[in-house]
Amino acid sequence: MALSLSTPTYRCKPIRSIPALARALRLDVPVLIETADAANGNYRVVPPGPGSTRQTFDALGLLKEIHRRIKLSFFDNVQFPA
């Protein structure tokens, strides 16, 4: 008995370079690189909810906008098996 596993599919063109990523995110290459270099300082700690001990973080400023664009441009275009 063989087990058949379906995998997610992404039908858009792959991103193979920093300039291609910048174009897909509608950013200038220097802005993307500067944001990546400063990313560790662009998060804030989110207080845990009642009864939780999990520490979570939230992106700030342009990094948060880049995260939103990544979700819209890439993750929302992934088709997952039913």
Question: Does the pLDDT value for residue 31 go beyond 90?
Answer: yes
> pTM of the prediction?
0.80
What is the Cα–Cα distance from 4 to 19, expressed in whole angstroms?
A: 38
Question: Does the pLDDT value for residue 30 go beyond 70?
Answer: yes
Band of the pLDDT at 56, cuts 50, 70, 90?
very high
What is the Cα–Cα distance from 24 to 2, expressed in whole angstroms?
A: 39
Q: Which amino acid is at 10?
A: Y
Q: What is the pLDDT of residue 25?
A: 96
